[in-house]
Structure 1
Amino acid sequence: MSRDLGAARISDPTDDHYRRPLPMEPMLSEHTSTRRSSPRTAGRLLQAKAKTLGRTLGRTLGLSLGLACLLVVPWAAPSANSALPATVNSELAAQKLDANHLGLWVQAVDSDTPLINHQGERLFNPASVMKLVTTVAALDVLGPTFKWKTEFLADSMPVNGVIKGDLYIKGYGDPWFRSEDLWDVVRRLRELGVKEIRGDVVLDDSYFAPIAADPGDFDNRPDRVYNALPNALLLDNRAVRISITPHGEDESAVTTWPPNPRMALDNSLKLVNQPCRNSTNQPVIDIRNPTDPGAEIQVRGTVSRQCAPHLYYRVAGDPHDAFFHAFKQLFESAGGTITGHWREGLVQAGSTRLLSHDSRPLSNYLWLMNKWSNNVMARQIMLTMGAELEGTPATELKAARVIERWATDRGLNWDGAVVENGSGLSRISRLSPRQLGNMLLSVWKSPYMPEVMATLPIAGIDGTMRKRLTSGSIRGHAHIKTGTLRDVRAGAGFLLAKSGRRYVVVMLHNEQGVQYGGGTRVQDALLTWLYENG
């Protein structure tokens, strides 16, 4: 992860499927670390993580026994792979990958038996394919039209445009509350005649319990947007937008949003009058002490004045600082005044609600989450299920219990499954190809099948599949959720064969180095074979 990626490339450097977010909409993508750990180090990390999760998730989904077996008992995989298509075996050999580390489940939606069942019962790390579980469960539990609210309240109604007490902002877990939404709230406050807040701005994020985790736990990169932690009051996916405009009036060329006076910007960027090429456009962005309120953003390297503006996203500083200062600047730019500062707290009894902002429906958010593999959105959605069904404040344990009951209600055999946080950004998450395959078969027969299908990246067209299978008639015929971690390459979804028959496809591959392109080629070989022969 040594190079910086722009707004169009907030993605894993070893994953060739770059995400293109909308302006002001940083995406949290699936992740693969290029670092390699020794077996001893990796073992200690996995065991320590398992010990922590055992205390919180061990009482649900049969995790304690399943995880203990997974960590202690080696898998005795069958050596024969004669059931695999010849083209898949050939690609495995060409990529020097082992079929014993690959799990496949392929079944026609109108069939009672799988066409391919290769290690279908074995538990694999599914990486971001885990988001399919979050997707289907959320549609069943919350419903496709579910909306999140963000409330704005005050100690008393404004008098002559003045709120003499505190203003409260209470979040309910909106996974995609953006600066544009905050601007709309400011506009509505001004329409109510509010022009001055003489008290503090109190930020209430008590809908979720605090997440007892370090954003750097996964790969020691706490500044990366894919590692952003959930919060009930979240702005712009918790990311700081860093704008480099090399041909603007300001020689510094670097600005950040949200504005945060507690964070420093060290701009050592050198502007050069040369054509815009890779050799001249090499900005480097480092974040010092990213989890501290006083984090420092360091920008160095070279940028050509002839290059177009670029946007970069990092996680830095305190999320409450970011929310407050964004709100304050927008409110003051609209002619308002805030006398106090911000503090964490609870909405006081008897407070008057001024307005409530409603999010877009869940089905819209699932589209964003799956097309671009947004981790923090998945975590927010899973926690919301816990809060809505198990009560507030939401915890991962409550959310896991909801998933357990949901799987039982759907008639799924979820033995040994490890869901953890619902995003797939996990070293211990586990699912089998059969479990995912049966879930997708049940989706095909469910009333929410169109909603699920619409969220999946389309081969050769969009999302994380847009650069795969771009040529030939298979283009557009596979809807596949992808997943990538170090030593994990995964994919699952639906494929419409040339024959007109629809198939469920699950591909889980856990092998050293599989994320460096070889695993993708094996998957594409299977999808191509199935399209031609299914």
Structure 2
Amino acid sequence: MVFKRTAMFFVAVIMSFAAVFTVIPGQPDVQASSPYESMERNINATMADSSMKSIVSSVTVRKASTGEIVYEANADRKVTPASTLKLLTSAAALETLGEEYRFTTEMLTDGSIEKGVLNGNLYLRGQGDPTLMKKDLDQFATVLAKSGVKKINGDLVGDDSWFDAIRLSPGIDKSDETFYYAAQISGLTLSPNTDYDAGTVIVNARPTKKGYKAKVTMTPDTGIITIINKSNTVPKGHKNTLSIKRKHGTNTIVITGNAPIGSAGKKEWVTVSNPTAYSLDVFKKSLGSKGIKFNKSSKVTRREAPQNADIISSRQSMPLKKLMRPFMKLSNNTHAEILAKTMGKQLYGDGSWNAGLRVMREFGQSIGLHSAAWDFEDASGMSHKNKVTSAELTELLFLVRQAPWYGSFVQGLPVSGMNDRFIGGTLKNRLTGATVKGKVVAKTGSLNHVNALAGYVETRNGETLIFSVLTQGQKKTALPAIDQIATIIATTPTN
């Protein structure tokens, strides 16, 4: 690995903190050096609140300068990290793939062009690029049209063999599969807009006239989706009850409920079943828009491109250092799983979760993390079986400050209270007060009955502290308590 575990560190570009936890009042396992006694008292007061009694928690605060722990409560207790697991995923990806890594998508053929006819198959080969969009497929079609092709006497073939055929991680529940955060992972996939939620389509249902169905549009337009519209436009002032969901195991999207006149209706990012087929369908439409037709016997299919196929055109994604913003700011689960499989492919020639998670574990061990403190079966944090301690998360956040790619790592983290969603990210609407706005730079985490926050905070004295607060088992959200602790750390004098 590029960096070693030492006491050296980079000056933080931005800093942050936050917290949630549960401890039996009066019995926190706390160690605090004297400059932090005030912070300790204030955090303990929050932890002793009656609303926190039933929560399982783990909390650690360290000095960014030395890694010294200045506050801990159940620091070695394993708790579900939710999306704070992405801190490990992103660090491993930056180390393994490099800041300049780009995903490549290629258009190939095994045939030849004669008098405007491509006699052979046309291939679209992917490496899991989550930023591939319709406009990129339009560009491929333009290149082919400019080469003189007007007809294809062969198949349109998707090559998604860069990854294995397992499309969903173990933590994805059947009920989650329609939603953007549980998209299928494929070596060939497509995003509907620059949020880069790969493997989804944007479905928009808007009110029309009273008694009529809502008007439905889809971005991008694709023939693999069947829309069943059972909605109804109702008078202004009625409740908006629109629901947009994909039927499990199909590419049928059902729209139900009322769309009040004057309302915006409803917009959903809905996953597709089989992202490879989705990408090919949109690509075929792009080709058609350029006047390129297929033979009646041509098929749209999936298989590996032959080794001797000629590359007609290729497209590269933005570098990984730039992808860190939509990935971490918006907590994109699909990006995390794609990066895991990509790491496995690059290091072990195996684009699978097993290989990718192996790379993540080995990365952690190489920088000095303790493998016994980490249990994970995905890279996004979706699984409730994932476990880690707050001590280890803060240790990771301390160690990565020594890495040459630390700047790319930290610029991807959400910043408290900042309005721009590509700055504030998932902290955009949290910690907005004058004393904490812009002071907390941290990764959020949320699942049912789970909340987490881990990152950096700038204190009132200008010191950088590293923190991690993990909670599970709560009946109500623990975010108010977490944000209260973040505020305490940011505003309490530490010297």
Paired residue for 1:411?
Answer: 368
Q: Work out the CA distance in 2 between the residues paired with 1:251 and 1:485.
A: 34
Q: What's the secondary structure of 1:158's corresponding residue?
A: strand
Larger deviation, residues 378-387 vs 295-304: 295-304
Q: Work out the CA distance in 1 between the residues paired with 2:115 and 2:396.
A: 57
Q: Which of 242, 260, 266 is the matching residue for 2:203?
A: 242
Paired residue for 1:477?
Answer: 439
Give the structure, 1 or 2, with the largest relative contact order (CA under 8 Å, sep 6 or more): 2
8 A Cα contact 1:218 1:426, kept in partner: no
Q: What's the secondary structure of 1:175's corresponding residue?
A: coil
Q: Aligned pair in 2 of structure 1 residues 478, 173: CA closer, same or farther (>3 Å)?
A: same
Displacement after TM superposition at 1:263 (Å): 3.9
Equivalent AA in structure 2 for residue 373 of structure 1: S
Q: Work out the CA distance in 2 between the residues paired with 1:201 and 1:221.
A: 31
Q: Which of 148, 171, 174 is the matching residue for 2:126?
A: 171
Structure 2 counterparts to residues 442-453 of structure 1, below 5 A: 442-453=399-410
Larger deviation, residues 313-322 vs 478-487: 313-322
Larger deviation, residues 414-423 vs 435-444: 414-423
8 A Cα contact 2:29 2:72, kept in partner: no
- Could you say what the CA RMSD is over the residues aligned between the two structures, in angstroms? 2.5
Q: Work out the CA distance in 1 between the residues paired with 2:341 and 2:446.
A: 23
Q: Structure 2: state its 5+ residue gaps.
A: 1-22, 31-38, 192-197, 419-423
Equivalent AA in structure 1 for residue 331 of structure 2: S
Equivalent AA in structure 2 for residue 388 of structure 1: Q
Paired residue for 2:338?
Answer: 380
Q: Work out the CA distance in 1 between the residues paired with 2:105 and 2:188.
A: 8
1:302 paired with 2:220, answer: no
Paired residue for 1:156?
Answer: 111
8 A Cα contact 2:171 2:383, kept in partner: no
1:284 paired with 2:226, answer: no
1:490 paired with 2:445, answer: no
8 A Cα contact 1:165 1:198, kept in partner: yes
Q: Work out the CA distance in 1 between the residues paired with 2:437 and 2:371.
A: 33
Paired residue for 2:308?
Answer: 350
| Equivalent pairs, count | 448
Q: Work out the CA distance in 1 between the residues paired with 2:170 and 2:76.
A: 32
Q: Which of 300, 317, 324 is the matching residue for 1:359?
A: 317
Displacement after TM superposition at 1:213 (Å): 4.7
1:431 paired with 2:388, answer: yes
Displacement after TM superposition at 1:214 (Å): 7.7
Q: Aligned pair in 2 of structure 1 residues 333, 417: CA closer, same or farther (>3 Å)?
A: same
1:332 paired with 2:297, answer: no
Structure 2 counterparts to residues 70-81 of structure 1, below 5 A: 80-81=27-28
Q: What's the secondary structure of 1:389's corresponding residue?
A: helix
Equivalent AA in structure 2 for residue 523 of structure 1: I
Q: Work out the CA distance in 2 between the residues paired with 1:264 and 1:362.
A: 35
Q: What's the secondary structure of 1:282's corresponding residue?
A: coil
Q: Work out the CA distance in 1 between the residues paired with 2:182 and 2:121.
A: 33
8 A Cα contact 2:75 2:390, kept in partner: yes
Structure 2 counterparts to residues 383-402 of structure 1, below 5 A: 383-392=341-350, 394-402=351-359
Displacement after TM superposition at 1:269 (Å): 2.1
Q: What's the secondary structure of 2:257's corresponding residue?
A: strand
Q: Work out the CA distance in 2 between the residues paired with 1:405 and 1:261.
A: 43
Displacement after TM superposition at 1:252 (Å): 5.2
Displacement after TM superposition at 1:212 (Å): 6.6
Q: Work out the CA distance in 2 between the residues paired with 1:383 and 1:95.
A: 43
Paired residue for 2:415?
Answer: 458
TM (normalized to structure 1)?
Answer: 0.78
Q: Aligned pair in 2 of structure 1 residues 528, 490: CA closer, same or farther (>3 Å)?
A: same
CA deviation map 1:28-63 (0-9, x unaligned): xxxxxxxxxxxxxxxxxxxxxxxxxxxxxxxxxxxx
Q: Work out the CA distance in 1 between the residues paired with 2:403 and 2:141.
A: 41
Q: Aligned pair in 2 of structure 1 residues 129, 315: CA closer, same or farther (>3 Å)?
A: same
1:224 paired with 2:179, answer: yes
Q: Work out the CA distance in 1 between the residues paired with 2:461 and 2:200.
A: 45
Q: Aligned pair in 2 of structure 1 residues 483, 489: CA closer, same or farther (>3 Å)?
A: same
Displacement after TM superposition at 1:335 (Å): 2.1
CA deviation map 1:189-224 (0-9, x unaligned): 333333322211111111111117588942533211
Q: Which of 468, 490, 493 is the matching residue for 1:531?
A: 490
Q: Work out the CA distance in 1 between the residues paired with 2:101 and 2:458.
A: 30
Displacement after TM superposition at 1:416 (Å): 3.7
Q: What's the secondary structure of 1:96's corresponding residue?
A: helix
Q: What's the secondary structure of 2:388's corresponding residue?
A: coil
Q: Aligned pair in 2 of structure 1 residues 100, 329: CA closer, same or farther (>3 Å)?
A: closer
8 A Cα contact 1:139 1:448, kept in partner: yes
Q: Aligned pair in 2 of structure 1 residues 212, 188: CA closer, same or farther (>3 Å)?
A: closer
Q: Work out the CA distance in 1 between the residues paired with 2:29 and 2:352.
A: 45
Larger deviation, residues 172-181 vs 213-222: 213-222
8 A Cα contact 1:480 1:493, kept in partner: yes
Identity across aligned pairs (percent)?
A: 26
Q: Aligned pair in 2 of structure 1 residues 99, 434: CA closer, same or farther (>3 Å)?
A: farther
Q: Which of 208, 220, 228 is the matching residue for 1:266?
A: 228
8 A Cα contact 2:189 2:278, kept in partner: no
1:504 paired with 2:466, answer: yes
Larger deviation, residues 427-436 vs 299-308: 299-308
Q: Work out the CA distance in 1 between the residues paired with 2:304 and 2:24.
A: 54
Q: Work out the CA distance in 2 between the residues paired with 1:215 and 1:255.
A: 32
Larger deviation, residues 299-308 vs 319-328: 299-308
8 A Cα contact 1:216 1:227, kept in partner: no
Q: Work out the CA distance in 2 between the residues paired with 1:336 and 1:78.
A: 71
Q: Aligned pair in 2 of structure 1 residues 308, 218: CA closer, same or farther (>3 Å)?
A: closer
Equivalent AA in structure 1 for residue 78 of structure 2: L
8 A Cα contact 2:171 2:377, kept in partner: no
Q: What's the secondary structure of 2:465's corresponding residue?
A: strand
Larger deviation, residues 523-532 vs 259-268: 259-268
Paired residue for 1:143?
Answer: 98
Q: Work out the CA distance in 2 between the residues paired with 1:252 and 1:160.
A: 47
Q: What's the secondary structure of 2:318's corresponding residue?
A: coil
Paired residue for 2:274?
Answer: 318
